[in-house]
Chains A and B, each alone.
Chain A
Amino acid sequence: MAKAFKYGLKGITGYLEPAERELLRSLIDDVISMLEPAESASEDPLTALIGLDMNVQEPSDRALRRLLPNVTKNDDAASLEFRQLTERSLRENKIGALRAAALGLDTNDVVLSPADARLWSQALNDVRLVLAERLDIRDDADADHVHTMQDWSQAEDVESYLALVYNFTTWLQESLVQAMLQSMESRG
């Protein structure tokens, strides 16, 4: 079993079993493949260079829309314009955090610097956002329902398996964030 992250002399440390690392790696890979932008053949190299993407649209997939949300509540045109300017670098930023977290999954003992820990917490958060969409978690009642699934012997179908995976990543992120908050406190 994994051990909760904690903050100590060596920084933020945790422990994950090989099967847990494998699971996290595959979840991370899934989110990376969702975020990798489709190649567009007729792309202007200059606009690509400065991060513009004039062909971008609001994602149709709910999970992707949650990872890359509109920047205004009620103004679709303004949101789309902002997306053209920023979505590419946001995707790259998220992929960078996910890749950094995956790199840290090579050994059972996980030791994180403050910068690593931030990338890990971002990556785990994105993984959880995607799992939550797949599990149809829309409100706190849904979240509470999913949270009751704690025992791996309850894994009967895809949904219960996903719920258990979601609860594992939630537990892992919570322990990591608690360690990060302690680390911030002790550094003043």
Chain B
Amino acid sequence: MTLSVALGPDTQESTQTGTVTSTDALTAPDIPWNLVIWNDPVNLMSYVSYVFQSYFGYSEPKANKLMMEVHKKGRSIVAHGSKEQVEQHAVAMHGFGLWATVEKAAGGGKDGGSGKGKGKRG
């Protein structure tokens, strides 16, 4: 499914704000970013799997595998892409109530707190 489905009535505006974000991104477009989903004790496993299937179009086995990774490891990288792409995904995930963050995929030193060592590719 597309972002428009997830965002409902304000798609137009949301798309524009997404574009605004990109103008100040001084990151080269080929540096990959990750979309991370974090575990929490509230979201239902079935619901998380449903979101992965319906929003990303993942197969049921793939959605369940990622959901179990979130549940057991505390986090899972569920998508990659440009900064703008993963930011759009993140705001869609927040729309569904999932706890999502974005991070640079590998090494990359510019961002403030990236020295924690948790940002490595999973």
Contact = CB atoms under 8 A, between A and B. Distances in A.
Contacts of B91: 71, 86, 89-90
Contacts of B47: 121, 125, 173-174, 177
Contacts, number: 133
Given A94-B95, A173-B47, A140 B13 contact: no
Given A85-B20, A137-B41, 16 more contacts: A51-B13, A51-B16, A66-B99, A67-B94, A69-B101, A71-B87, A72-B102, A73-B118, A74-B116, A75-B111, A86-B18, A121-B50, A125-B44, A174-B44, A177-B47, A178-B46
Interface in A165-185: 170, 173-174, 177-178, 180-181, 184-185
In which size bucket is the chain A interface? 35 or more
Interface in A58-108: 66-78, 81-82, 85-86, 89-90, 92-94, 96-97
Which residue, of B16, B17, B118, has the highest number of chain A Cβ atoms within 10 A?
B17
Contacts of B112: 74-78
B interface secondary structure, majority: helix
Interface in B37-64: 40-44, 46-47, 49-50, 53-54, 60
A50 interface: yes
Given A69-B100, A138-B41, A177-B47, A184 B10 contact: no
20 contacts: A51-B13, A51-B14, A52-B20, A73-B113, A74-B112, A75-B111, A85-B20, A86-B17, A86-B21, A89-B7, A89-B13, A94-B95, A97-B95, A119-B8, A125-B97, A126-B97, A132-B42, A174-B44, A178-B46, A181-B50
Most buried by A among B16, B20, B46, B60: B46
